[in-house]
Structure 1
């Protein structure tokens, strides 16, 4: 074990548990799934109940998957898809900076997850425990990790937006 492995572990735990907490909050926070569904409906992600479940489940699965380092590029792709949809549907009109509810935070989470997928989960991970020296480990980091996380994530987010997103009509005021 090296300082590199510990550093990647810290990043995975912070990012992963943060994302999982967001999913948990969608399930069990104030308003629960019903409140989350109403929020999704109001922003144009219909049906809201479907998207509330998909977002909450993906946030928990991607977060926990990244935290434990299991098939790392796959949960990283989940981060990319989630953050692309969130940035586009909620934060885009507010500009870049988070202090104005912009998409800065979304970019940091998605970019960090892709960075981890590129570097690899490190030796303190399920990827290392289960797949070291199996041949599959070659696809769990490096260029393959980057490609899987970025392309699958972007395809998932863009696909979800193209199929489901219908921005609410602006009212004349």
Structure 2
């Protein structure tokens, strides 16, 4: 019987390639999902309410300037999602998702944990966004052409997540 050995340059390259492909899949799944949700809010695509319907929902959920909040949420989801798909400014794109999902969790908090009334879906999207912010986009992303984003991934991810949390909390304070 031969033992499996995991050493050498080839193995390291294969692990790195697998990580990069995994990050690409995560970015595509999360990014396309969020871009679709944002398109529902902004344009009424995919059975969404558009700005009017989303604005009404935001008003019923306690947000002042509900139509403006609908625009902000729609843009955050659409542009954040597309940023993840292409791997452009990935920490900020992920932060846009996380901040929006913090507000979604707050709105649905009383519904328990499990879907459809609960927060499990929104919480999962927020955690996935945070994971991408902290790990970076991987090799198959436009960010690899930006030297500043190739190094200090953790620092940029943490800074982006702090920005997301502070922005989300500010919006929740405005909500009352």
Matching residue of 2:150: 137
Matching residue of 1:109: 125
Matching residue of 2:28: 13
Q: Which runs of 5+ in 1 are unaligned?
A: 167-173
Matching residue of 1:119: 135
User: In structure 2, which of residues 157, 160, 163 is the aligned counterpart of residue 149 of structure 1?
Assistant: 160
Q: TM-score by structure 1 length?
A: 0.85
CA RMSD of aligned residues (A): 1.5
Q: Distance in 2 between matches of 1:69 and 1:3?
A: 17
Answer whether contact 1:72 1:127 (CA < 8 A) is retained. yes
User: In structure 2, which of residues 31, 37, 61 is the aligned counterpart of residue 22 of structure 1?
Assistant: 37
1:17-49 Cα shifts (integer Å, max 9, x gaps): 100000101122244211111111111111111
Runs of 4+ in 1 over 6 A off after TM superposition: none
Q: Secondary structure at the match of 1:115?
A: helix
Q: Distance in 2 between matches of 1:43 and 1:9?
A: 34
Q: Distance in 2 between matches of 1:31 and 1:118?
A: 33
Q: TM-score by structure 2 length?
A: 0.84
Q: Secondary structure at the match of 1:98?
A: coil
Q: Distance in 1 between matches of 2:172 and 2:91?
A: 21
Matching residue of 2:70: 52
Q: Distance in 2 between matches of 1:34 and 1:95?
A: 28
User: In structure 1, which of residues 159, 164, 167 is the aligned counterpart of residue 170 of structure 2?
Assistant: 159
User: In structure 1, which of residues 37, 40, 46 is the aligned counterpart of residue 55 of structure 2?
Assistant: 37
Bigger-Rg structure (1/2): 2
